[in-house]
Amino acid sequence: MNISNSTTAPNAGEYAGDEVSAIVLDPGYSTTRAGFAGEDVPKSVCPSFYGHIDSDPPHYLFGENAIHDPLGNLQIKNPWGSDGIVEDWDTATKVWEYAITSRLTGNRPGDPTKNGLNDGNANGNGEAMDVDMEGLENLENMEKPLEDSPLLMTEPGWNSVKAREKYIEIAMEEWGTPAFYVQKTGVLAAFASGKASGIVIDVGASHTSVTPVLDGMVLKKGVQKSPLAGNFVSNQIRMIFKQAQPEIPLTPHYLVKTKTPVDAGAPAQATYKTYDIPPLDSFRYNEEERVLTEFKESVVEVWPGPGRFTNGTNEEIAKSLPGRPFEMPDGWNQLFGSERYRVSEGLFDAGAALQDADNPRPKDEHTIPRLVQAAVQQVDADQRPLLLQNIVVTGGSTLLYKFNDRLNYEINTLYPSTRNKLIAPGPLVERKYAAWIGGSILASLGSFHQLWISRKEYEEHGTNIVEKRCR
Amino acid sequence: MASGRDVRDMLGLPVGGETPKAAIQKRAKPAAPGKKIQGVAREVAALYGERPPPVAVYEEKKSYRAKRQSTGPAKKWVPQPFTNQARSDGLILKHWRRKPTSTPAATNGEDIAMEDTEISDSYIEDSSEFLKYNVAPDMPTFTEEEYDAYLRSDDWSREETDYLFQMIENYSYRWPVVWDRYDYQPSLKSHLPTSQEFPNDIEQALATLPFAPPKSRSVEDIKARFYEISAKLMKLRIPEVQMDADQYATYEILTKFDPVLERNRKTLASALMNRNMDEVKEEEFLLAELQRINMAANRLDAEREELRARLEAPIPNQQVSAGLASFTSSQALAALFSQLFQADRSKKRASGGGGVGPGRLSLSATDLMATPTSAQHAQLSAANRRQSLAQQAVQTPIRHLSPLAELRYNVSTHDRLTSGITFGADKLLKMRQAKSNVQTQKIGQALAQLGIADIISIPTAKVGDAFEALVTKVGKLLDVRKVREKEEGECRVLEAMKARRMSEIQSDENGGERRSTKREVSDSQDRDSADIGDDDDDDDADADADADGDADVDAEGEEEDEDAEGEEIESQMQSTRQASEVEVMSTRATSAGHKRSASVLSQVSTKSSKRPRK
Ligand SMILES: Nc1ncnc2c1ncn2[C@@H]1O[C@H](COP(=O)(O)OP(=O)(O)O)[C@@H](O)[C@H]1O
Ligand SMILES: [Mg+2]
C-alpha cells in the first residue's frame, strides 16, 4: 500500500487483477511461505522445522528464532514424510498456522500453544495491519485465524487424495477460511514465469520433481519425483568431510564460544560451550544443516559440462582450477578443490555419488536427466517440443553454482533435435519462491474468484469437493 | 616517495626526517577510500578494511522531485463486499474500492470505521466484471433413444461414453489432458440390474456387459470415439445435403479422422524427436548439401528463365534503354551486380518457401503440430470453432454453373472485386493509354491500322477481354520492334568491326594465333571472341548483358504466342541486316562502349553462377 500513486485505481485494461486479500500458503520441506496474494514476495517465510520438548503437555516451538535456541532436551522435527507428503498433520497445521498468524493476520488471543512465542509478533502485527482500523476491529471478534481471507494453498504434484482432503479440512474447520483452493506447485511455478505450458524442474530440499504442465494443468502421468535434492547434497558434503584425511570437523555455531584465526587446514583453536541439559541430536543435526547450506551457497559447484564430471579428463581439469575457501564456525578453514564438484555430481550422475553404509548408491532413474526423460515420455508426442521450449527451473537447490549450465547441457544431449529453452529467473527470491509467486498472481486475478471452493460448497459436499474442483 | 628521498639526498638533509612524513602519509591513505563511501558511519567504513565493500553502497542523491500535486483530501478506500455473478453459491468476498460517497472527511479515526461498517452492511456489490471469463465448452448432446439407435459401439459401453464426454467437457477439449487424466473404472453395480432387467434383449445385455479389465485408451481411441459420435449426431440433426459449406467441412473432418494414421504420424514424430546427436548432425549436413544443390539448381533455372524471356518477349528495361553508358564506371557496375544478386536471392527464397526451407535445421513445436489432421482437430476442439469455420467458408464458392449456363446468365466469378462501379468503355479507353505519350500514339496508330474504331459501341466483358489481349499483343509488338531496331544497330556495328578485324588479320598473315592474343587482350571468355567470329552468336552475348539487367522482371504470358512472334522477328532481323549496313560508322563509337561493358557483365554473371556449383 506504499505505492506513490495510491490515490488512483489501476487502469482496468492493465491487468485483470481483483484483490480480495487472499492468503497464499506454500508449504515446503525446508520453509513454509505465506503472504498476501498480489504481493511479489511472501511476507512470511518460516522454517518448516519445529522444536519439540517432551513434557506434559508437550511444548512446541515455532519460527526461526525459537528453533535455533539451544534449550535443554529440545528436539527438532519436521512434519513432512519421506514420500514428500505431510505425515504429522497436527504439527503441520501448527507450523502453517504460525507462518500465517505470525506476520499476516495476527494471533488468536489467549491461545495456549502460542504463549511465550509472541515476542516478535508485536511489530509483525503492525506491519500486516497497516491497512485500516478495520483489521484491528476484526481482531476482536475473530476466533479463527483466516475468518476474513480466502486461502490458496500449494501442494506437490504427487499429493494423495487423502492429503488434499486434509488440506481443505484444516483450512475450513480449523482456520475458518471463507473460500479455499489448492493448486500444484508445478503449475504455479510455471505461472510465475508467465508460462501456461512447460516442464517445471523443482529441486527443493527433500525432493526433486519434474512436472509437465499443459495449459495450466498438470499432466499427472508425467509427474516425476526423486529424493536427490538439497538434503542429498548436504549428505554428500557430510561424507566428503568424514572421508577427508584428517576428518573435517563440522561444529555448528551454537557450540562455539570463541575462536581464533588459524592457518588453512590447521586444527581449530576455539573454546566451546557446554550445556547442563544439552539439546538433543536432532537439534545439532539441524544446526549442522545450517552450516552446510552456507557451504552449498559459497563453495559447492556443479560441473557445467560438456560431459560428466567423471568423464575423461574432466576431473583433472577441475583439479587445476583454483579452489574456494570455506571457514567453519570454529575457525577451521581450507580451500576446496575438485571435491566441490563431486558433491553435486550425484544429482546428474548416480554412479558418481559418494556412498557409505547410510547412503546407498542413488538409483539411476532418480537423476535429473532421467526424470526429465521419463516425464517427457509420458506426454503426448505432439506436445513434447512445446514443453521442451519452456523448461522452468525453480527451487532453492537450483541456486547451486553452474547448475543451469549443466542442466542445459544434459537436456541438449537428451534431445538434440528440439529447441530446448531453460527459463530460470535470475533473482534469488523468484527462484526460491516461484510457486508462491505464481499463487500470488493466480489468487489476485479477478477471473480466479469463480474457482474458489466456498464454505457453503464445502459444507454441502464435504471434503471430496476438492477432488472435483481443483483438477 | 623515491623522488623525495632523492631530493633529500641531494640537499644533504637527514634521512631520519622521512619517518614522520611516511607516518602521516600512511594515516592519510585509509582515509582516501573512506571518502568514497559516503552515507556510511566512519566506524562502519573502517570495518571494510582495504578491500572494496561486498555490497555496492549507493548514496541516495538529493535530487529535484516534483512537488506532489494536492488532489484534495485523502481519498477513502473501503473493503467492498461483492458477489461474483459466475458463482451460484453467493460467496461474498471483499475487494478494495473507492468509497462511493463523497461525504466530507471525518477527522476522527473511529468515525471512519463506523462509516465503513455502515456501508458494507447495507451494500453488496454484484460484480459481473469477470463474467466473460466464465465460459463452458459446447458439447454435442444425445438422448437415450439416439444412443441406442445409432451410437452403440462394441468397444465402448454407454457408461464409459458418458465418462468420456464428461472428461472432454471438464478439460475443454484439451486432448492430451483428457488422455492424461483418463482413468475409467467400470462400476459393476450399475450394470448388473440392467442385464437382469432385460434378460431377453441380447443386444442390451451385450452393450451393458462390464468390460472386465478397464481398457487403456490412447489419445487416438478417445478422439475417434468422440468424433464418430459427433459426426453421427451432426448427420442426425442436419441431413448431409442440407449442410452448408462450413458445417459440411466440419462433418468431413469428423468422418475422415483415422486413428491408425494419427498413431503412425505420432510414432514418426516421436522417432524424429528421439534421434541422437549423430543423426541430427548428419541431417544438418545433408540439409546443407541440399541447400547447396537447390541454390545451384535455382541459379540454373534463373539463367534459363532469363534466356527464355530474352528470346520470347523482350521487355524494355529502363537502365538498358537509357544506354549502357551509365554503367561505365566500376562502381556503377558493382552496384548493378549486387542488385541483381539480391533479386536472384529473393526469387529463390520465394520459390524455396512453403515446406522445408533449406535454412531450417531444427525442429520446432509447430513443426510437429502443424500436420493437417491435428490442425483440423485443434480447430474442432476450439470452443469457437463455428466462427473459424465460417471464416473459411467465405472463400469457398457456393455453387458452380456449367460454362454454358454461366455464359447464358452472364455470370462471372472474380477473385477479388474492386469497390465501386466502372464502365466497360472506360476500361477500354484506359487500355489504349501507355505510360508515355509516344507509346500511346504508337498504340493508337497500330490499332487504327488494324481498323479498330476509337470507340467500341458495346463493350461487354468478352469484348473487353479480346481487346485487352489485342492491346497486349500490340504492346509486345511495339516492344519487339524497338528491340529489333537496337539489335540491328548492334549487328551493324559488330559486322563492321568484324570486317575491319578481318582485314587487319589478313594483313598480319597469322590467322592461327588470332584467338589467343585476343583473349589476352580483352581478358574475357571464349564467348567474346566467338562473338566476333560468329554471326548467330552475337545476340547471345547481348542477352547476357541485357537479361541480367532485367533479371528481376519475370517474363510472363502465353509462351506459344510469343514464340511465334519471336521467330518472325528473328527472320525479319536477318533480312534487314544486310540492308542497313550503311549506318555502321555512325553508331560505332557508342556500341564500342556497349560491347565492353557487356563482356564484363557476362564474365561476372558466369562467375557468380559457377561459385555455388563447385
Ligand atoms: N544459494 C543456495 N545454493 C544452494 N542451495 C541452496 C541455496 N539456497 C537454498 N538452498 C537449498 O535449497 C533447499 C531449499 O529449497 P526450497 O525450494 O525452499 O525447498 P522446499 O520447497 O522443499 O522448502 C535447501 O536444501 C537449501 O539447502
Ligand atoms: Mg518446493
Give the phi and the psi of residue A25 in degrees, each rounded to 5: -125, 120
Mean pLDDT of the residues in chain B: 68
User: CB-CB: which of A18, A381, A417 is closest to B129?
Assistant: A18
Q: What long-range pairs does B177-180 form, CB within 8 A, spacing at least 24?
A: B177/A214, B177/A215, B177/A217, B177/A219, B178/B219, B178/B222, B179/A380, B179/B217, B179/B218, B179/B219, B179/B222, B180/A219, B180/A220, B180/A221, B180/A222, B180/A378, B180/A379, B180/A380
A385 and chain B: CB distance < 8 Å anywhere? yes
What is the pLDDT, as a whole number, of residue A79? 94
Q: In chain B, what is the straight-line distance between the N-terminal and C-terminal CA atoms, in Å?
A: 70
Q: How do A422-423 and A391-394 pair as beta strands?
A: parallel
Q: Which atom of ligand 1 is nearest to the CA of A293?
A: 27
Q: How far apart are CA A299 and CA B389, in angstroms?
A: 60
R_g of chain A, CA atoms, integer Å: 23
Lowest pLDDT segment from B36-50, B135-149, B198-212? B198-212
Write the DSSP string, A121-167. HHHHHHHHT-S-HHHHHHHHH--STTTTS-EEEEE-TT--HHHHHHH
Note whether B368 contacts A384, CB cutoff 8 Å: yes
* Cβ within 8 Å of A, B 100-139: 109-110, 112-113, 116-117, 127, 129-130, 133-134
What is the CA(B543)–ligand 1 centre distance, in A?
A: 74
Residues with Cβ < 8 Å from A31, sequence gap 6 or more?
Answer: A45, A46, A47, A48
Lowest pLDDT segment from A259-263, B278-282, B291-295, B606-610? B606-610
Q: In a mutagenesis test of the B interface, which of A417, A459, A465, A469 is the best target, namely the one with the most B β-carbons within 10 Å?
A: A417
pLDDT tier at B507 (50, 70, 90 boundaries)?
confident
Note whether B94 contacts A21, CB cutoff 8 Å: yes
User: CB-CB: which of B71, B90, B109 is closest to A133?
Assistant: B109
Note whether B171 contacts A221, CB cutoff 8 Å: no
Note whether A380 contacts B273, CB cutoff 8 Å: no
B374 and chain A: CB distance < 8 Å anywhere? yes
- Choose between A347 and A357: higher pLDDT: A347
Lowest pLDDT segment from A239-253, B156-170, B413-427? B413-427
Note whether B275 contacts A417, CB cutoff 8 Å: yes
User: CB-CB: which of A179, A219, A419 is closest to B93?
Assistant: A179
Note whether B96 contacts A19, CB cutoff 8 Å: yes
Q: How far apart are CA A391 and CA A425, in angstroms?
A: 11
What is the pLDDT, as a whole number, of residue B242? 82
Which of A116-130, B304-318, B441-455, B498-512 ranks highest by mean pLDDT? B441-455
Which of A206-220, A415-429, B499-513 ranks highest by mean pLDDT? A206-220
pLDDT tier at A379 (50, 70, 90 boundaries)?
very high
Cell of A185: 506447485
What is the pLDDT, as a whole number, of residue B417? 73
What is the pLDDT, as a whole number, of residue A153? 95
**Overall average pLDDT of the A70-75 stretch:** 90
- The number of beta carbons lying within 10 Å of the beta carbon of residue B365 is 19
CB within 6 Å of ligand 1 — which residues?
Answer: A 28-31, 204-206, 230-231, 293, 296-297, 395-397, 399-400, 432
| Model pTM score | 0.63
Q: Where are the beta strands (DSSP E) in B371-449?
A: none
Q: Is the dihedral of CA B233, B238, B240, B243 positive or negative?
A: negative
Q: How far apart are CA A157 and CA A160, in angstroms?
A: 9
What is the pLDDT, as a whole number, of residue B333? 72
Residues of A in contact with B267 (CB under 8 A): 381
pLDDT tier at B388 (50, 70, 90 boundaries)?
very low
> Closest Cα to atom 13, ligand 1: which residue?
A205
Q: Do residues A393 and A404 lie in contact, with contact meaning Cβ atoms separated by under 8 Å?
A: yes
Kindly report, residue by residue over B416-468, the tens digit of the pLDDT. 777 777 777 777 777 777 778 888 888 888 888 888 877 777 777 778 888 88
Which residue has cell 511489530?
A123
- Choose between A372 and A111: higher pLDDT: A372
What is the pLDDT, as a whole number, of residue B122? 62
Kindly report, residue by residue over B114-165, the tens digit of the pLDDT. 444 444 456 788 877 777 777 888 888 888 888 888 888 888 888 899 999 9
Lowest pLDDT segment from A80-84, A246-250, A314-318, B534-538? B534-538
Rounded to the nearest 10 degrees, what angle do helices B424-432 and B437-450 cross at? 110
pLDDT tier at A240 (50, 70, 90 boundaries)?
very high
Domain ranges of chain B: 80-87+119-186+214-274, 276-307, 423-502
- Count how many pairs of residues, chain A against chain B, have C-beta atoms within 8 Å: 143
What is the pLDDT, as a whole number, of residue A385? 93
Q: How far apart are CA B520 and CA B539, in angstroms?
A: 23
Q: Is the dihedral of CA B278, B280, B283, B289 positive or negative?
A: negative
Q: Considering every ligand atom, which ligand is closest to the CA of A31?
A: 1
Q: Is residue B209 predicted with pLDDT exceeding 60?
A: no
What is the CA(A424)–ligand 1 centre distance, in A?
A: 15
What is the pLDDT, as a whole number, of residue A106? 67
Write the DSSP string, B333-386. HHHHHHHHHHHHHHHHHHHH-SS--TT--SB-HHHHHTSHHHHHHHHHHSTTHH
- The number of beta carbons lying within 10 Å of the beta carbon of residue B190 is 13
**The amino acid at A26:** D
Q: Do residues B527 and B604 lie in contact, with contact meaning Cβ atoms separated by under 8 Å?
A: no
Which residues have their alpha-adjacent CB atom under 5 A from ion ligand 2?
A: A 28, 204
User: CB-CB: which of B116, B180, B280 is closest to A134?
Assistant: B116
- Choose between A249 and B514: higher pLDDT: A249
B74 and chain A: CB distance < 8 Å anywhere? yes
Q: Do residues A42 and A33 lie in contact, with contact meaning Cβ atoms separated by under 8 Å?
A: yes
Q: Considering every ligand atom, which ligand is closest to the CA of A157?
A: 2
Q: Is residue B298 predicted with pLDDT exceeding 90?
A: yes
Kindly report, residue by residue over A131-147, the tens digit of the pLDDT. 344 444 444 445 688 88
pLDDT tier at A11 (50, 70, 90 boundaries)?
low
- Choose between B359 and B494: higher pLDDT: B494
Closest CA to B360 of B448, B454, B287, B442: B287
- Choose between A420 and B555: higher pLDDT: A420
Q: Which atom of ligand 1 is nearest to the CA of A230?
A: 25
Residues with Cβ < 8 Å from B347, sequence gap 6 or more?
Answer: B298, B302, B552
What is the pLDDT, as a whole number, of residue B327? 59
pLDDT tier at A193 (50, 70, 90 boundaries)?
very high
Can you give the length of chain B in residues? 614
User: CB-CB: which of A214, A418, A446 is closest to B130?
Assistant: A446
Closest CA to A301 of A375, A220, A399: A399
Give, as one character, the DSSP assignment of residue B74.
P
Write the DSSP string, B552-611. TS---S-HHHHHHHHHHHHHHHHHHHHHTGGGHHHHHHHHHHHHHHHHHHHHHHHHHHHG
Residues of A in contact with B86 (CB under 8 A): 449-450
Cell of B451: 481498323
What is the CA(A33)–ligand 2 centre distance, in A?
A: 10
Q: How far apart are CA A35 and CA A104, in angstroms?
A: 7
SS3 state at B457: coil
Q: Do residues A206 and A232 lie in contact, with contact meaning Cβ atoms separated by under 8 Å?
A: no
Lowest pLDDT segment from A4-18, B6-20, B138-152, B413-427? A4-18
Lowest pLDDT segment from A191-195, B210-214, B261-265? B210-214
Residues with Cβ < 8 Å from B67, sequence gap 6 or more?
Answer: none
Cell of A354: 559418494
- The number of beta carbons lying within 10 Å of the beta carbon of residue B4 is 11
Q: Considering every ligand atom, which ligand is closest to the CA of A286?
A: 1
**Overall average pLDDT of the A328-342 stretch:** 91
SS3 state at B98: strand
Q: Is residue A166 predicted with pLDDT exceeding 80?
A: yes
**Overall average pLDDT of the A67-80 stretch:** 91
A132 and chain B: CB distance < 8 Å anywhere? yes
Residues with Cβ < 8 Å from B46, sequence gap 6 or more?
Answer: B30, B34
Q: Which atom of ligand 1 is nearest to the CA of A394?
A: 17
pLDDT tier at B39 (50, 70, 90 boundaries)?
low
User: CB-CB: which of A19, A134, A416 is closest to B277?
Assistant: A416
Kindly report, residue by residue over A384-418, the tens digit of the pLDDT. 999 999 999 999 999 999 999 999 999 999 999 88
Q: Which atom of ligand 1 is nearest to the CA of A32?
A: 23
SS3 state at B524: coil
Q: Is residue B378 predicted with pLDDT exceeding 60?
A: no
Note whether B133 contacts A450, CB cutoff 8 Å: yes
Nearest-CA distance A5 → chain B (Å): 10
The CATH code of domain B80-87+119-186+214-274 reads 1.10.10.60
Note whether A385 contacts B273, CB cutoff 8 Å: yes
Give, as one character, the DSSP assignment of residue A426.
S
Write the DSSP string, A300-334. -B----SS-TTSTTHHHHHHHS--EEEE-TTS-EE
Cell of B460: 461487354
What is the pLDDT, as a whole number, of residue A452? 92
What is the pLDDT, as a whole number, of residue B214? 61
Closest CA to B146 of B223, B236, B238: B236
Note whether A381 contacts B266, CB cutoff 8 Å: yes
Q: Which atom of ligand 1 is nearest to the CA of A229?
A: 25
Sheet containing strand A31-36, edge to edge, reads A44-47, A31-36, A23-27, A151-155, A179-184, A453-454
The angle at the Cα of A1, spanning A127 to A104, to the nearest 5 degrees, equals: 35
Give, as one character, the DSSP assignment of residue B87.
-
What is the CA(A18)–ligand 2 centre distance, in A?
A: 27
Q: Considering every ligand atom, which ligand is closest to the CA of A32?
A: 1
The angle at the Cα of B534, spanning B319 to B480, to the nearest 5 degrees, equals: 40
Evaluate the omega torsion of the peptide bond into residue A246 and state whether it is cis, within 30 degrees of 0: yes
Note whether A133 contacts B94, CB cutoff 8 Å: no
Cell of B26: 600512511
Residues with Cβ < 8 Å from A33, sequence gap 6 or more?
Answer: A24, A25, A26, A27, A42, A44, A45, A99, A433, A435, A436
> Among residues of chain B, what percentage have pLDDT more than 70?
55
Note whether A178 contacts B277, CB cutoff 8 Å: no
Residues of B in contact with A7 (CB under 8 A): 71, 74-75
What is the pLDDT, as a whole number, of residue B398? 61
Stretch (H or E) spanning A335: strand A333-336
Q: Do residues B251 and B235 lie in contact, with contact meaning Cβ atoms separated by under 8 Å?
A: yes
- Choose between B581 and A396: higher pLDDT: A396
Domains, chain A, in order of start with CATH, read 230-346 (3.90.640.10)
